Structures are given as C-alpha cells and as structure tokens.
Amino acid sequence: MSSDIIDVEILREIGRIANSDIHIDERLKVIISVIIEKTGADASSILLLDQHDNNLIFKATQGLNPDLINKIRIPVDKGIVGYVVRNKEIVALSVAADDPRFEPVPGIGEERFKSVLAVPILHKGLAIGLIYNQTVAEKTYTKREIELLEVIAEQVTGVIRNSQLYEKTCQHLSSLLSLNYFNERVNSSTNTGDLLNDLAGESLKMVKGDASVVWIVAEDKLVPMAHAGGDIGGPVIYEPIKIGEGLIGKVAEERKGLIVNSPDVWGEDMFVRAASPKAVIVVPLLVGKKVVGVLAVADKVGAERGDYIGFEPEELEILSSLSVYAAMAINRLDIYKKLERVSAEREKKIKELAILHEIGVAIQTVPDFNTLIRLILGCITVGDGLGFNRAMLFLVNDETNMLEGTMGLGPDSMDEAVDIWRSMPKIDNLVKWLLTHDYKDQGTGTHLNNLVKNIRVPIDSSGGILPMTLIKGKSFNVPDASQHPYIDRDFIEKIGTNSFAVVPIIVREQHIGVILVDNCYTEKEITEGDIEYLVHFTSYIGLAIHNRRLFKKLRESHNDILVIQNKLLRSEKLSALGELTAELVHELKNPLMVIGGLTRRIISNPNIDPDKYDRYNRAIQDEVSRIEKLLKEIQTNSRLVTTELAETDINMLIEDIIFFYEHTSRDRMVDIVKELSNDVGRCLIDADRFKQVIINLVHNSMDAMPGGGTLTIKTEPVKDDYNNGIMLTVMDTGTGIPPNVIDRIFDPFFTTKDDGTGLGLAMSKKIVEAHGGTIDYRGRPGGGAIFTIYIPKVGEGSMLVQANISSKKVRHH
Amino acid sequence: MGKKCILVVDDEENIRFLYNEELHDMGFSVELAKNAAEAEEKLRDKKPDLIILDIKMPDVDGIELLNRIRSNDTTTPIIISSAYNDYKQDFNVWGAEAYVVKSSDLTELKGEIKRILWGDNP
Ligand SMILES: Nc1ncnc2c1ncn2[C@@H]1O[C@H](COP(=O)(O)OP(=O)(O)OP(=O)(O)O)[C@@H](O)[C@H]1O
Ligand SMILES: [Mg+2]
C-alpha cells in the first residue's frame, strides 16, 4: 500500500484513539506505536511541557528507555527538544550529532540514533510539547514525511485537549455530587465536631489533597478545630492564629480564598513553617460577609505518589462552594447553641431550624428557579415561617448592572390579608404545603408582583436603599423610611409602606440581590432577631442561585465534550468512507486502464504479432485477477472493519455510554430505562467499535423522539441448543420506520435526515457482522423502533478470532 | 533531427507497458522508470523532451519527485497522469504543464502530448 493511503489510515487510527476513553498516558502510548509502525522510525517519543517549571517530561516512548516515562525532566533551554519547543520550529537532521544544538540526555539511550525529526505540538499558538522521532540509520526526511508528522502532532493536540476536558468535567461532576451530598449531611448534623471533621475529610477528596485543616473564629483568633489526611505540621499549627496574621489569618481578614502553588514565599508564616506544604488552597468560611472560619487543603497528589502538582482555579471554586455550605451549617449550629440557653424562645426557633433544613433539601430537588424562589419568599411570609406580611426579591442583572425586581409575594390589601389568615389551615410541613399550594388561586400578590417587577435601579448610590444595601453588604432595618437618608418619597409611595427591612444576598463576595420585607398590615415591629434570621434565610437563596449558575457552567462544558465526540464520530465515518473510495478508485482505475487500453489496441490492430498478442493477454489477465482479489477483500470487509477483540463487560459498556447521555436525554425529555441482565457475563468483542454501534442506535432513537419519550436498553443471555450469546435490544417510543423504507435503512448513505450521513446503521451492521452477530429491526407495537443485536459468545481460538487476526496481518503490510 | 524522447514514470509495470506501446506508435522514443531513483538517473542520461508522471508511488511520490525535478530544471514539460481527480486544479501550482486522469481511452493524454511537443491545438 502506498503512502497516501497510509496517511489517511494513521489519521483515522489516531482519531479513534482520541475518541476512546482510555487514560491520556495510554492514548499517547498507542499513538506512539502507530507512529512507529507507520513512519518507520526506530524510536518515537512524546514529550510534554510542564508549565509550572518549564521542563519537558517524557510522556510516552518506544525505542528510548521506557523507565524514563514521567521521570526525566529536560529543561526547555536544553538540546534539540528544547529548541523545538522554544522556537515552535520543526527540526529534521540527517546526522543529529553534527548539529550544535544536539545535547544527548544521559541514560535515555539516545546514542545509537543518527537521524532526528522533531515536531512541536502546538495548542493555541503555544508549544505544549513535541514528537521526537529517531532512526538508527542515516536518513534524509522528505517534505512529505515532515508534513505527516506535523499533522499527527495536530491530532495529538486534539487528544490532549479532549482528554483534559473530559477528565476535568468528570472530576467536576463528581465534586458537585459530593457537594450536594455534603450539604444534605450538614443540614442534618447537630454536632459541630462531626460537621467540621466531615468538612475536612470531604474537602480532601474533592481536590485530591494530602491534608486539610479547619479553623473556627473565636473572637479575633482562628482556632484549629479539625484536620484530615496526612500528618500536617507539628503542634505549632494547633495554636490559634490571629486574624490578619500569616497566610491563614490574611485569608480570614480579606475574606477571599487563594491558591499558593509555591508556599515558600510565606516562609515566616506559622502554618507554612510547620506544615511545609508544596501547594495549598485556603478558603474563608463565610456567611454573607461574616467570617466564621478558614479551611486549608495542602499538597495536591499528582499522578505518582510523592509527586505533587499545583492546584487549579476551578478547585478553588469548588472548595469555596463547599465552604459556603459548611459556613452556613456552622453558623446555624452556633445559633442553635445560643438559642438553647434562651429556653423561652426555644420551641419557635427549633421550628425555624426545621424549615431551614427543609428548604435546604428543597433547593436540591425543586427543578425550576421560579418555583424555588416562590417557595423561599413563601417561607418568609407565611405565618408558620418567618411571618412577614410581604416579601420582595430584587436580583442583580450582571449585563446591565441594575437591580431588577424579580418577585413580590403577599396580600394586596388589608381585606385580602385578613381573608388569607382566616382561611389558613394548620400546616404540618410548611415546605410541602408551599410547593403544592398555588398562590394565584388565592388571588394574592398579583398587584404586588407586578409592582416589584417594574422596579429597576442602577447599582450605585443614585439607586437608593436597595443598591446601598448591596454595596454596604449589610442589612437595614428602617422603622421610619421618611427619615432615612437613602430613601426618597417616591419609593415609599411606590411600595406603599413606611417601615420595612432590606437584607443583602451575597454569596462568596458575589452580589446576587436584595430582599425587602415589611409588616404593612399587622404593623408589627421588625426586631433585630427577625433580621438575623432573615439574613440566614437569604444565604439559602444566594446559594440556590449560585448553585444553579455553577451547574449550568458544568453542563455547558459537558455539552462541549459531547459536541466534540459527535464530531469525531462523524469525521471518522466520513474518513472511513473517504479512505474506502480513494483506495477503490486508485486500485480500480489502474487495472481498468491497462485492460481497456490493451483491448483497444487489439481491436484496432487485427494483424497484431502473436507474441505481442500473448503479452497483451497476460497483462489483461493479471489485471482482471487483481480486481477480483480486491473485490473479494471488500466483500469480506476486512478493509472497513478492523477488530481488536478483548473480554468486555457489555453492561458496563452500556452504563458508560448512558452516563454520557444523562444530561442530553434529560434536556430532550427522554427517559432512559436500563434492563441489564446480570447473567450476560463477559464476551469477546472490540469494545471501541461496539460502543459506536450502541451510540449510533442511541442517537437514532433520540433523533426519532423530538418531543421526548422512553429509550429502553436491554441485555439478556441467549442460550439454547443452537445459540450461546447475548441479545442486546435498543427500543424507543419515537416515530418508527415507515414500511416502505425498512429494507433500505442498513444501506450506506440511506438517510432521511438533513444532516445525516446514512452511514450509522450501515457501519453498525458491518461491525456486528464482523463479530459474527446479527442486527435486526422491527416496529414497536404502539409506535417506535426496536433494534436487536445478537452476538455469539466466542472463545479464544475460535474461527472468528482466527479470521480477525489474519485479516489484521493483511492490513498492516 | 532524431525522435523526440518521452520519459514515463509509473510504479506499475503493465501501465508502463501500455504507455510504451502507444507512444512508440506515435513515433516517440520511450524511456521507462519505475521509481524516483530510476527517473532521476534517466533524466540525467537521456535528457527527455517530456515527462509523464504518476502521483501515487511508494517511497518518493510523484509530487515530491516533481518538486525535485523543478528545483534544478524548470523547462522540461511534465504531464501528471493519475487515478485521482481531486488534484486536478493544483497541477500548475506544482509546475506541471498538464494533468490527465488515467483512463483506458488515451485520447486526452495524446492530445496534451501533441499540444506540448508539436504545438497542436487539441
Ligand atoms: N430509531 C429509529 N427510529 C426511526 N427511524 C430510524 C431509527 N433509526 C434509524 N432510522 C432511519 O434510518 C435512517 C438511517 O439511519 P442511519 O443511522 O444509518 O443514518 P442517519 O441517522 O440518517 O445518519 P447519521 O447516522 O450519520 O446521523 C435514518 O435516517 C432514519 O430515517
Ligand atoms: Mg444514525
């Protein structure tokens, strides 16, 4: 096979590697072996730049000493490898040792190589590493070879980016899950000690740290209260730290988290001196603007034990979120204790705590934002909750930098208020009641809600009391609005009350909005206790909003990956096709030219010399058998499908795929139902290829259910006199396939979609058949499609395995 | 004046054979080369008047060979003869005179040869 086809094959193979879900190190290893196999280099290595210390690290190699992977670090100012990365330049040398830039790295076995081809791996205009090829014999690299390696380097960038994105998202998703789990636990804990231990332990897990410490504010000092993980520091860090002093004290004072990836700059700090961490994240535990403590996590564990890498900004973000939950819980327990002493109020406050707990749970379960906000305002206004007469919520719009009225809740007149209070039933579970109760039916708040929604003020001193609450970051209790410097008459008239309170909603320094409450009907005085409790409440609102934003962001990046994956899948389908046609065209045109050309000569030359005639005939026969051989090969599909068989747990494979589609399916209102039998066992298949089959079917089903529906994936063992295998069923409740096209759905290029290639089912069929299996379609009674795949179980040494091994050999000559 | 000489470079034996037969009939002397090395040698020794070049060949392919030839010889006309359609628009960028897609009907190729060597209008 000549060079063009090999090129396409390499790219395709690397595309496949990029799309597989093995760990990045493994992927690079596979890429290296492809490079070696296809370019004829005697040694090939990938080195990546560690941005923290500007060293190049061997990530994968074949031909050089494999023990040096992840070990030897080459400073970027050294040798040819350094030159390539510094200058983002390709270097091709027939005799590397003659070049002044050449500086052999001792111990890696470079001495035996003569020629070198080194190509930078570029990402966003920066060199992030290089591919380093070497040959033993002296060699002059052609332009084409250089270009090929350049293209491979581009692919490697894709692989790295894709896997970084993937790993990050996976990590973040799991962080978010533990975050919610943590919140649930802290909401139900009544013991500060447990809570703090939990916090220390959880924070370690979330950012893969080695050790963590929690300090709690007591007057002007931070007292260490809990720690988890490795043995951090001596007794000295267990002494209280003054707020404002050292790394930990500074964070408490400035109320801002930070990452220090080289803590030696804080050499005089007590904590740093005692614990001597390699890297540390420190976050304040904040309730609004009040610091209740500090959390520090030290030493992120790298790929190898004892190998520490720096923390990333996202991790600061995650810990900060965790700390908000923790701070609220700590504050709550604090209040709890204080309250225990005041027994007169005890009962009421316990009830309030119960509400807080319920709201905390509701934040995680209520699906839409408006319902959640209404629920929270409901808690503020209903008599069994905080019992304010009215509540109004204003949120910051970041784009316009305005505070905008979002919702108002409460009766519109005295009469209405009396009506409601009279008819109010005895409520057992306030949150549940609020969630199931529709305020509109009661005719409440429509006027107030409209009024609030029409209020928009700029966030500066000209906007009056609402923005000032936010800017100052503290609550205002206003018994007489007409006397207040931030309030003008207009505002009083608009909201129709002269006494009220305004409370800011701030989460982690982020200004989210304000809440205004009043007792305009009962004219009950708003006490400091009421406000303290309201402040508490608002932190939940802030958190709900913040959480939603965080979640949205994570989801977006998760979607990014899906898009990339889809693109890769599609481009693979097309390149498989392109490869096939390019190859076919070439392999057919040449023999046809010979056959046709010589036949023409025979026809136009009746008196042709018999020797010549024989020679022509032989050539024609040669070419005909060449075509026949080619067609036979295509028929057995050995060119389209290569199979790498491995023992695979099909159920796991399905779980993995479904995990990826969770969000997409939710967005599309598709319920995924799994009916995976535990008795299917493992079977010998090419997992990557098989994954494609399942993904193709899942895609098709999703496409067929634009308005939502149910997708069922089922596995079951099949064992009888004739069969021993697995049946896999993918069923949807979509449009189904019209009878007149059923015959064509497995044909290549048959599609009814604007953007379809029509290759999904055709490829799936080929793949299933290469496994000795079958794929069939039938309509679902009641509408929808059912695809069933049967795969026979084959053992090592069976016909299929043999056939695949030999077809692979044919392919790689 | 002696016969004009055409150098054919193609890795497939039967194709070279077919060209040889046809070009002889047209009255040219024909030199055959199965790879870049042979082609460069014949180029030096025989000084052909025209080169017919295949693109897809193992080791050094036609484009690469064309680059090499053009780096010290800008005048000898070159016709690319290939199974691919896709590169057709690029041939003059590469410094070739014509691009002919391989076919059992050699009329187009012959037309280009006549145009280039004899100034015929096809
Ligand atoms: N579950 C299904 N429900 C309804 N129609 C289906 C289903 N699966 C496949 N089809 C029909 O079969 C056709 C061929 O499917 P195939 O997967 O081969 O290509 P495609 O989906 O159109 O294109 P691509 O896979 O490239 O997106 C589809 O266009 C669609 O009309
Ligand atoms: Mg499809």
Q: Which amino acid is at B118?
A: W
B15–A590 CB contact, under 8 Å: yes
Burial A758-788 (b: 16+ CB within 10 A, else e): bbbbbbbbbbbebbbbebeeeeeeeebbbbe
* Average pLDDT, rounded, for chain B: 87
Mutate to test the interface with B, among A143, A586, A593 (most CBs of B within 10 A): A593
Alpha carbon of A762 to ligand 2 centroid (Å): 9
Q: Which residues are placed with Cβ below 5 angstroms of ligand 2, an ion?
A: A 700, 760
Residues touching ligand 1 (Cβ under 6 Å) are A 696, 700-701, 704, 732, 734-737, 745, 750-753, 756-762, 785
Q: How many of the other CB atoms lie within 10 Å of CB of A337?
A: 10
What pTM was computed for the model?
0.35
Q: Phi/psi at A122 (nearest 5 deg)?
A: -105, 140
Look at residue A269 and give its three-state secondary structure: coil
Q: Which residue's alpha carbon is at the smallest distance from atom 28 of ligand 1?
A: A751
Look at residue A7 and give its three-state secondary structure: helix
- Look at residue B79 and tell me whether its pLDDT is greater than 80: yes
B102–A622 CB contact, under 8 Å: no
User: Quick one: tokens of A471?
Assistant: 């800017």
- Look at residue B10 and tell me whether its pLDDT is greater than 90: yes
What is the predicted pLDDT for the residue at A553? Answer: 58
What is the predicted pLDDT for the residue at A809? Answer: 32
Which of A670, A673, A672 is closest to A708 using CA atoms? A670
Q: Is A637 left (phi over 0), alpha (psi -120 to 50) or beta?
A: left
**Is the Cβ–Cβ distance between A5 and A583 less than 8 Å?**
yes
pLDDT along chain A (813 residues), means of 10: 48 55 69 82 88 80 82 85 91 90 79 90 83 91 84 77 56 56 60 74 79 80 76 57 84 86 68 73 82 82 54 79 76 54 42 56 59 75 71 87 87 75 56 55 64 89 88 88 86 88 82 88 82 74 65 57 55 54 72 90 86 89 84 54 74 84 82 92 83 89 93 91 86 93 83 78 84 90 94 56 36 29
pLDDT tens, residue by residue, B35-78:
999 999 999 998 999 999 998 887 788 888 988 898 888 889 99
d(CA A468, CA A462): 9
First to last CA, chain A: 7
What is the predicted pLDDT for the residue at A9? Answer: 57
Distance from CA of B7 to the nearest CA of A (A): 18
